[in-house]
Amino acid sequence: MHTTQIETTGALDLTWVRGQFPSLSQTVNGQPAVFLDGPGGTQVPQRVIDAISNYLKHDNANTAGAYATSRRTDAMIAGARFAIADLLGCDADEIVLGLNMTSLTYAMSRAIGRELRAGDEIVLTHLDHDANISPWRALEERGATIRMVEIHEEDCTLDMDDLTRKITSKTKVVAAGYASNAVGTINDVREIVRLAHRNGAMAFIDAVHYAPHGPIDVRALDCDFLVCSTYKFFGPHLGVLYGKREHLRRLEPYKVRANTNAVPNRWEWGTLNHECIAGITACVEYLADLGRHANPAAPTRRAAVLAAYEAIQKHEHGLMETMIQGLLAIPELKLYGIRDPKRFDRRCPTIAVRIDGHTPLELATKLGERGIFTWDGNYYALNLTERLDVEKDGGFLRIGLAHYNTAEEVERLLTALREIVASKQ
């Protein structure tokens, strides 16, 4: 296993981290696998796998029954809500569990659509994943007008002046991403929320891409909604939605009659994926333990999670600097997004590139043969690939670092890309 141990206080214990993830020890064609596919879904620690299988072994039941396994299921789901509340900095009854971010966003956009009148406006951005665009565009059929916020092409950041202009007294919802899943840009979410509220609009934040990389505090952001997907931050394939209690109570979900009107259950329909929900607490506990390794004095689970993110960010920033510097030295390579190391606090370690003479699919395939997992295409950030006119040419090659990656893995990616480019010259 390739590891780099960092000993300083508050730093990531990478040997411990990698030991938590059994899948990282896989090989491909005789080479250790390098997981640079985190933005599509991260690997999971053993404890998540154990929690899922233990639930199926011991507690498998439907909810609200008058017997042991059903009661344990109820307690387990309540525990998962508390865990996510600690992760996001809110109360457990403000957490809605669901299939994934996309379905939760559609459910909420439909409910908000019931309040809209012709002429009401919704502000979206070109930087967003389609899951934070299409559910809102669907409200055009109810007479809503969509306003798209521009980007600065040179560094793929949001044009905040355009955003300020487009949010008006007609705006009912501003839906924006916390970070771009294609080019890594971190938006000034607090400012976006402030601008929305100044005009009486609600702010809906897609934190799917940001969640594995940085701490989230929904109270400090003051956002009305925030969505993320646990499979992007070391958990099972599920989505979670935070909603301010007042909105979860006031808005009318489409739901079956037998579903109670209690918050948050009125937003959770049918039988949920209990075994995966069991994995949620384990994944938050993993992050908390990571934080306790970095800072054993962390007094609460939330404090430990925040310590984890501090260690994660320090580690990822180091890898990102080496990766970006190495990529920029490759001839004919174009790197999209923020390139200036002084501004790296405004980007995630998710890097989109194109290399002249190679399609992104060809690069991803050749890297894949060497055991290096990257993505090609648009990853549903379709508005961005269209806006940058790369959609017709296969989108980007996306290299996504996570905290379990190592300096050796960065070097392997760079060496492999250099070889692939040189072999065609």
User: Interface residues with ligand PLP (CB under 6 A)?
Assistant: 100-102, 129, 131-132, 177, 181, 206, 208-209, 229, 239
CB of 382 to ligand PLP, least distance (A): 12
Residues 6+ apart with CB under 8 A from 394: 359, 360, 361, 376, 377
Contact (CB, 8 A) for 399 and 367: no
CB of 370 to ligand PLP, least distance (A): 24
DSSP category for residue 341: G
User: Of 206 and 289, which CB lies nearer to ligand PLP in the complex structure?
Assistant: 206
CB of 352 to ligand PLP, least distance (A): 13
In the sheet that 396-400 helps form, which strands lie side by side, from edge to edge? 333-336, 350-355, 396-400, 375-377
Q: Which residues of 329-363 are buried (b: 16+ CB within 10 A; e: fewer)?
A: ebeebebbbbbeeeebebbbbbbbbbbeebebebb
User: Of 130 and 159, which CB lies nearer to ligand PLP in the complex structure?
Assistant: 130
CB of 406 to ligand PLP, least distance (A): 24
User: Of 86 and 128, which CB lies nearer to ligand PLP in the complex structure?
Assistant: 128
What would the two tokens of residue 399 be? 């290299």
User: Of 40 and 326, which CB lies nearer to ligand PLP in the complex structure?
Assistant: 40
CB of 29 to ligand PLP, least distance (A): 27
CB of 392 to ligand PLP, least distance (A): 21
SS3 call for 343: helix
User: Of 38 and 113, which CB lies nearer to ligand PLP in the complex structure?
Assistant: 38
- Gap between the Cα atoms of 174 and 192, Å rounded: 8
User: Of 131 and 401, which CB lies nearer to ligand PLP in the complex structure?
Assistant: 131
Q: Which residues of 151-172 are buried (b: 16+ CB within 10 A; e: fewer)?
A: beeebbbbbbebbeebbeebbb
